[in-house]
Structure 1
């Protein structure tokens, strides 16, 4: 079952997507494996504090967040990982750690790792640890309106 906010958003925007139900998983790499999706195309959400404010980073499950590179890509902002207790209440219709990558639904900015944009489709958690959504990447970008981060170019 999709989170109510995500379901409403996808319905209102007439988005083309496929809802996927799967066995309970906790990590993005495991979810990608269960869904038989390459980890490069499964989006994980990393919750950050950028200059003290909560923000989402949407990135391929294959990679780990490099805070130094992210800070450089953001022009030198102070970047920290957010602790779950700092963002849990921001996603009232989602299980902790299973929020979809649409920050505008929750009042926060979204940044996307450019390595995710290299693929035709993206798959991501849909608010639970048993549901996911697959959709064309360009449609995701059109709806989410993320700021693109060129993290891989920051050496």
Structure 2
């Protein structure tokens, strides 16, 4: 697989310009950035969170950073979604290769501004060997309803 079906449909519907970047197999978003030779600040890390009542949100932040649940309401309101649920939500993707696109999967999206300030972005394509690469203006066309808000842990 190069690009998951829902990712491909989203790209086509938004008429986005993109290219595919092949890389050696990797598991984490930070490792993917390293083996693909791309800046971790431009690599989208996708984290699925839920409210324990069936409401799921895709949080997208730079691979170089960590999600701070207190920035989205705290652990009393949100938790990290379990892997089996994520696999069901992203059923056209390999486990753990969650694209930074919520809309093709029917999920609300939150995007950290540290990522949107980059000139380009790299997203998981749905497998562990390919990335979707595009300019940031093209990414915004792809996710027009995403909310930009601070998601990352503060660095001291």
Normalized against structure 2, the TM-score is what? Answer: 0.88
The equivalent residue for 2:119 is 120
Q: Which moved more, 1:90-99 or 1:7-16?
A: 7-16
What is aligned with 2:148? 148
CA distance 1:80–1:10, change in 2 (3 Å): same
1:8 and 2:9 are equivalent in the alignment: yes
Separation (CA, whole Å) in 1 of partners of 2:46 and 2:151 = 15
* Equivalent of residue 64 in structure 1, options 63, 66, 75: 66
The equivalences for 1:4-153 within 5 A come to 4-50=5-51, 52=53, 53-71=55-73, 78-145=77-144, 146-151=146-151
| CA deviation after TM superposition for structure 1 residue 38, in Å | 0.9
Structure 2 gaps of 5+ residues are none
| 1:153, distance to aligned residue in structure 2 (A) | 9.5
Q: Does the 8 Å contact 2:40/2:64 carry over to 1?
A: yes
Gapped regions of structure 1 (runs ≥ 5):
none
Counterpart Cα distance in 2 of 1:118 and 1:152: 14
Whole-Å separation in 2 of the counterparts to 1:22 and 1:116: 21
CA contact (8 A) 2:66 2:153 kept: no
SS in 2 for 1:151: coil
Query: Aligned to 2:40, what secondary structure does the other structure show?
Result: coil
CA contact (8 A) 2:101 2:143 kept: yes
SS state of the match for residue 115, structure 1? helix
TM-score (norm 1): 0.89
**Aligned-pair CA distance for 1:87:** 2.1
Residue 141 of structure 2: SS of its match in structure 1?
helix
Instruction: Output one character per residue of 1:44-84: Cα deviation in whole Å (capped at 9) or x when no partner.
Output: 10110146311100100000111112327xxx981211111
| Kept in 1: contact 2:61–2:152 (CA 8 A) | no
Q: CA RMSD in A?
A: 2.1
